[in-house]
Chain A
Amino acid sequence: MKDVSFGQYYPVKSFVHNMDPRLKLLFLIAYIVAIFLARNFYGLAACLVVLLLAIAFSRVPILKVLRAIRGVLFLVLFTAVINAFFRTGETVYWQYGILCVSKEGIVFSAFLVCRLILLVTCSSMLTYTTTPVSLTDGIESLLKPLTWIKIPVHILADVMSIALRMIPVLMEETERIRSAQKARGGDIEGGGLIKKIRAVVPILVPLILSAFRRADELGDAMDARCYMASKKRTKYKKLRFTWRDLIGFFVGAALITGVVLFNVYEAFLWLPV
């Protein structure tokens, strides 16, 4: 329960936290595009500057942000190894069959690793600074055009917000069931693979049962309050675009446009590669 850093809200007050979630979502998309437009380390460095600015304004500790990388550490290492060993280049240092270590390969794999790390950290910045509820509201609001082609966006948004809402509850439940079984001498630590799988059953069965029970109870409670998925629903917290968002929009848009332009036109800047 204590160690899920990836995709967790970090509760402090800051400019970035207060920003309209729609704006943050759009910025994230634009920023990801900017990352993919970067063709070399200069481009990535420009992206990094923008990310660091965002982190500084969000008041989330940088170490906390970096912890998000741990979740995808395996993927990062895997990418690095594959690209470093299988990509051929002009300056070859070492070769064995299809395995080949070259200068270009190493540079390229370092580039990919940096790109991945930027992608992961910028995405987790969104979840650090935005509560799941306002994130869903933002997604719902942005996807509104899809209602024109009869896609029930608000129902999907409700489903998503309930699912997000239940993650910590189920985590807590898992911890509780695990403690209860630990008190009866069962634990998933230690033992071989088969033993481990068998040890998971006493935790998994009660957990699934409780998830179903909770779903039933929630369904009843929603029914009892006359929840109608088909009706147009009003909102308790309306998303409002404030003057702060306007400032955020101009600053963010300027920065990201700058990075995009830099990445598109840096070929004309004659920087050494």
Chain B
Amino acid sequence: MRIVAEHLSYTYNPKSPFAVKALDDVTLTIEEGEFFGIIGHTGSGKSTFVQHLNGLIRLPASKKRRPKRPKAKKGRPAPPATVLTVGEFDLSSKKTDFRALRKRVGMVFQYPEYQLFAETVKEDVAYGLKNFSDKKLTPAETEAAVRAALEIVGLDYGEVAEKSPFDLSGGQKRRVAIAGVIVTKPEVLILDEPAAGLDPLGKREVMELLHRLHREWCKTVVIVSHDMDEIAENCTRAAVFSEGRVVYALPPASLFKMTDELLALGLDIPLTAKLCAALKERGIEVDCDFTVEDLIRKVVALKGENA
């Protein structure tokens, strides 16, 4: 499903002293099949944006039947209308079937292990399945779906299914929580800081898991992250959010060339980009796509030329 947002704005607590403008005229398209990254500071609007994508935050419904077209003010052109579509779902319409949308757009929140509640892992994973299926599933169907979900996140069904989710380790809990979202096989999977709070190995395992899901189950994966290495290493394209606006939306290979611009926004750059910059200072130009593997290959190749 293709995600299109045009001129999307959102304000929390409008018309009150607590009003915060979270999104300011955001225009962004995420194509089907992308492994998309969203970067930004806390409060840059990235979480607000992704929560729009499965209708957890809704566009303010216009009271008129037709979508309201903002009127032109004197001397200024009319502000363009807001568009927000995910596949065939038009999220600016009131009639959208949000349940159907949420079934196809899975959302994993930050620290998803804090949403576990059931007595057994099996029940917890099956929760979304039961909510989304229109008919009553047979125990065999449920078990098959839960087994498949647990296995793709790298857990052994026989070992964990009957356990309490609270008896598992941190990394395992997170996998169970992710399994609980992907059990309905959503086409788009959105994850807010999927690797936050994990050790380096756990982080790598989660990213590997996401690639596996991207290959086999979910056509589009969107991750929100402030770990630049994670973005450089994994994403096909990344958008930079700052103060509610999209500043850049580029593949990491071109995005992280703009070292100065990113630093000026108060963002970090990946280690590989720092290394490239350090090499450049010493007169060595390395043109890589900022993945560790590519950087090593290019440096080794350069060394071969110079020898």
| Distance, CA A219 to CA B253, complexed state (A) | 46
Binary per-residue interface labels of chain B (1-29) against chain A in the complex, 1 for a CB within 8 Å, 0 otherwise: 00000000000010001000000000000
Pick the contact of A206: B17, B115, B130, B132 (CB < 8 A): B115
How many A residues face the partner with a CB closer than 8 A?
22
The chain A residue sitting closest to B54, CB to CB, is A183
Report Cα–Cα, A206/B114, bound state, in Å. Answer: 6
Contacts known (A12-B17, A177-B115, A210-B114); A184 close to B181, Cβ less than 8 A: yes
Q: How far is the CB of B303 from chain A (nearest CB, A)?
A: 49
Contact residues of B: prevailing secondary structure: helix
* Cβ proximity bits B200-233 to A, threshold 8 Å, 1 near / 0 not: 0000000000000000000000000000000000
Nearest CB in chain B: distance from A185 CB, A: 3
Q: How far is the CA of A209 from the CA of B173 in the complex (A)?
A: 14
Q: Is B248 an interface residue (CB 8 A)?
A: no
Q: Evaluate contact between A184 and B117: CB separation under 8 angstroms.
A: no
Bound-complex Cα distance A250 to B109 (A): 54
* CB < 8 Å neighbour of B107 from A12, A177, A183, A210: A183
Q: Which residue of B lies closest to A173 (CB)?
A: B114
Chain B CB within 8 A of A171 CB: no
Contacts of B267 in A (CB 8 A): none
CA distance A22 to B153 in the complex (A): 58
Report the minimal beta-carbon distance from B218 to chain A, rounded to whole angstroms: 14
Residues of B within 8 Å of A183, CB to CB, are 54, 56, 102, 106-107, 109, 181
Kindly state whether residue B103 has any CB partner on chain A within 8 Å.
yes
Contact B114 A185 (CB under 8 A): no
A152 is an interface residue with CB less than 8 A from chain B:
no
Q: B114 touching A177 by the CB < 8 A rule?
A: yes
Query: Once the chains are docked, how many angstroms separate the CA of A209 from the CA of B128?
Result: 21
Extra pairs beyond A181-B127, A184-B102 (15, CB < 8 Å): A10-B17, A12-B17, A180-B109, A180-B112, A183-B102, A185-B131, A185-B132, A185-B184, A186-B127, A202-B115, A202-B118, A206-B116, A206-B117, A209-B166, A210-B114
B contact residues vs A (CB 8 Å cutoff): 13, 17, 51, 54, 56, 99, 102-103, 106-107, 109, 112, 114-118, 127-128, 130-132, 166, 180-181, 184
